[in-house]
Amino acid sequence: MLSARKLLQTKHHDVEMSLRGVLRGFGLKVGPTTARSFAGRIRELVGGHPTLTAVAEALLAARDVLGEQLRGLDKRLCNQAREDNRARLLMTTPSVGVIVALSFSAAVDDPWRFRSSKMVGAHFGLTPRKYQSGETDVTGRVSKIGDASVRTALYEAANVILTRPVKGSELKSWAARLAKRAGMRKAKVALARKLAVVLHRMLKDGTPFAASRAAAGA
């Protein structure tokens, strides 16, 4: 279900970007829109152009169908999360919602297959590459191995913590201090990696999120 949702989400976005590209070719710029205002803005631009109107209406109809099916899957996933003890446990963590919780718990499966919670960050490609040879010791970018959907979900959760008001999370303070030293991008990656460790420990212990414990580990 998560893979199907991601596919629908991607195709929905592709249709919107294709519409923007088609109109841009005729000198019509869509500009910033919301999910609700997008269709109205498109119809406003193509008014009086029969061919463009036909193309736009066909693509908008496809967008509507994709959006409807996407909302249907979102509803089913929300219902599944409510019935899943592990997902409900993970969602006690600030910024961790249905998609993050279900993606992480499904990918981890049995938390006891990892000897240490610190291994989970590497499993999902959130640790830096290391190259060592003789006197050379180079630390590169994150490896990006493992499940990309989980890595993306964790990064988006970290982004929410750092850029939006989050109550009762000492992880935000820790990540904010790191951002001042190393930059926002590196702080988000580090926070995503830390979230992987925290969520795995929660699954292993069966305990809800504890801000002080998570910050102490950081």
- The answer to whether 192 and 186 are in contact (CB under 8 A) is no
Q: How confident is the model at residue 164 (pLDDT cuts 50, 70, 90)?
A: confident
pLDDT at 203: 94
Q: What is the average pLDDT across 136-142?
A: 49
Asked if residue 170 has pLDDT above 90, the reply is no
pLDDT at 82: 93
pLDDT at 213: 64
pLDDT at 141: 63
| Rg (the chain; Cα; Å) | 21
**Separation of first and last alpha carbons in the chain:** 33
212: left (phi over 0), alpha (psi -120 to 50) or beta: alpha
156: which 2 tokens?
A: 């988006």
* Beta strands 136-142 and 128-133, pairing class: antiparallel
pLDDT at 131: 46
pLDDT at 81: 94
Q: What is the average pLDDT across 177-192?
A: 90
Asked if residue 133 has pLDDT above 60, the reply is no
Q: How confident is the model at residue 158 (pLDDT cuts 50, 70, 90)?
A: very high
Q: Which of 36-45, 107-116, 177-186 has the highest mean pLDDT?
A: 36-45
Q: How confident is the model at residue 22 (pLDDT cuts 50, 70, 90)?
A: very high
What does pTM read for this prediction?
0.79
Asked if residue 138 has pLDDT above 60, the reply is no
Quick one: what percent of the chain has pLDDT higher than 70? 89
Residue 165: CA count within 13 A, CB half-sphere? 1
Asked if residue 99 has pLDDT above 80, the reply is yes
Closest CA to 20 of 11, 29, 12: 29
- Determine which of 7-16, 59-68, 126-135 has the lowest per-residue pLDDT on average: 126-135
pLDDT at 216: 58
pLDDT at 165: 81
